[in-house]
């Protein structure tokens, strides 16, 4: 939702401030109450909004609108809980890619509990995964935030740097997930085309594609697509990391120093993941 090019917001904050009934949140005879318990006048990001559009009907002042905005334009994280969630998304994308698309079958053995009944190895995998997602990677970015505060000398808190740095991981994390899905999607394109002709498996052949032989869709292009996706994620993450400090009016030197530790780290991770997907 935070990466979405669409955002539901109020047209006028003053109208929302003067509204005492809060129909967008509590509902009325025109529309249901917000299932997420949100007040449109207080919305500043998409994190909690599911875009159900009930408030478009329930607002009696027609003060709710859907705005178009640049893709992946939300920056930072509002609190530690959101920051940890973003780090988990980022970490799991890397771990799953290595686990399921890597060249090391011994790693896959750790999760193959159906065939090998290796619950002991699966337990080790769970401990390692949770430690990475909840302790090691967040801890690494917290240490990088401490380094950024010391290098830049801008007099801000480590928490602020940490929230801005982890928030910038979301575009790269999203693109890593898409890169992870691409090989599986392209391997099943044939079955998707077959299902158009015979959606229920009843022997139909509407478009003459029900019996086409299986083939992987443009396999030679998969690494290129993955590399382009990850590079675009890096660009968006670095852009958001830079833009998250716009309101502080920092000098170019201070901006470079406060963003360098996290920016350099995610750049190195990006290069390693490109080598992983394209090797």
Q: What is the pLDDT of residue 2?
A: 84
Mean pLDDT to the nearest integer, 151-155: 89
Q: What is the pLDDT of residue 249?
A: 83
- Percent of the chain predicted with pLDDT > 90: 63
How many Cβ atoms sit within 10 Å of the Cβ of residue 272? 11
Mean pLDDT to the nearest integer, 189-214: 89
Residue 164, phi-psi category: left (phi > 0), alpha (psi -120 to 50), beta (remainder): alpha
Which secondary-structure segment (H or E) carries 68? strand 64-68
What distance in Å separates the CA atoms of residue 28 and residue 145, rounded to the nearest whole number?
46
Both tokens assigned to 227: 């590399």
Helices 80-101 and 169-187, axial angle in degrees (round to 10): 30
Specify the pTM: 0.85
Confidence of residue 121 (pLDDT cuts 50, 70, 90): confident
Q: What is the pLDDT of residue 116?
A: 78
Question: Does residue 233 register a pLDDT over 90?
Answer: yes
Q: What is the DSSP letter of 28?
A: B
Q: What is the pLDDT of residue 65?
A: 92
Mean pLDDT to the nearest integer, 89-98: 95
Its sign, for the CA torsion 98, 104, 109, 115, is positive
Confidence of residue 141 (pLDDT cuts 50, 70, 90): very high
Report yes or no: 51 and 8 within 8 Å, Cβ to Cβ: yes
The C-alpha R_g of the chain, in whole angstroms, comes to 23
Q: By three-state DSSP, how is residue 7 classified? A: strand
Nearest CA to 6 out of 73, 57, 63, 54 is that of 73
Q: Which residue has the tokens 């790269």?
A: 172
What distance in Å separates the CA atoms of residue 168 and residue 246, rounded to the nearest whole number?
14
Question: Does residue 106 register a pLDDT over 90?
Answer: no
Question: Does residue 126 register a pLDDT over 90?
Answer: yes
Question: Does residue 107 register a pLDDT over 90?
Answer: no
């Amino acid at each position: 939702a935070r990466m979405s090019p669409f955002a539901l917001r109020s047209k006028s904050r003053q109208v929302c401030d003067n509204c005492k009934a809060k129909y967008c949140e509590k509902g009325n005879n025109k529309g249901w109450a917000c299932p997420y318990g949100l007040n449109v006048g207080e919305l500043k990001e998409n994190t909690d909004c599911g875009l159900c559009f009930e408030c478009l009907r329930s607002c009696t002042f027609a003060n709710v609108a859907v705005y178009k905005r640049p893709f992946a334009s939300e920056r930072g994280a509002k609190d530690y809980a959101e920051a940890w969630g973003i780090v988990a998304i980022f970490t799991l994308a890397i771990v799953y890619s290595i686990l399921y698309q890597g060249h090391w079958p011994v790693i896959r053995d750790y999760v193959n509990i159906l065939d090998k009944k290796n619950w002991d190895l699966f337990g080790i995998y769970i401990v390692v995964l949770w430690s990475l997602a909840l302790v090691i990677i967040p801890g690494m970015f917290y240490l990088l935030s401490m380094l950024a505060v010391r290098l830049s000398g801008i007099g801000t808190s480590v928490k602020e740097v940490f929230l801005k740095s982890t928030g910038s991981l979301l575009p790269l994390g999203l693109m890593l997930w898409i890169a992870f899905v691409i090989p599986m999607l392209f391997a099943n394109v044939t079955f998707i085309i077959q299902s158009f002709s015979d959606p229920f498996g009843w022997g139909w052949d509407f478009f003459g594609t029900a019996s086409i032989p299986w083939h992987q869709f443009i396999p030679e292009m998969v690494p290129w697509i993955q590399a382009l996706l990850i590079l675009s994620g890096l660009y968006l993450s670095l852009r958001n990391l830079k833009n998250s400090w716009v309101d502080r009016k920092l000098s170019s030197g201070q901006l470079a120093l406060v963003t360098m530790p996290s920016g350099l780290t995610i750049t190195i991770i990006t290069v390693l993941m490109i080598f992983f997907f394209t090797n």
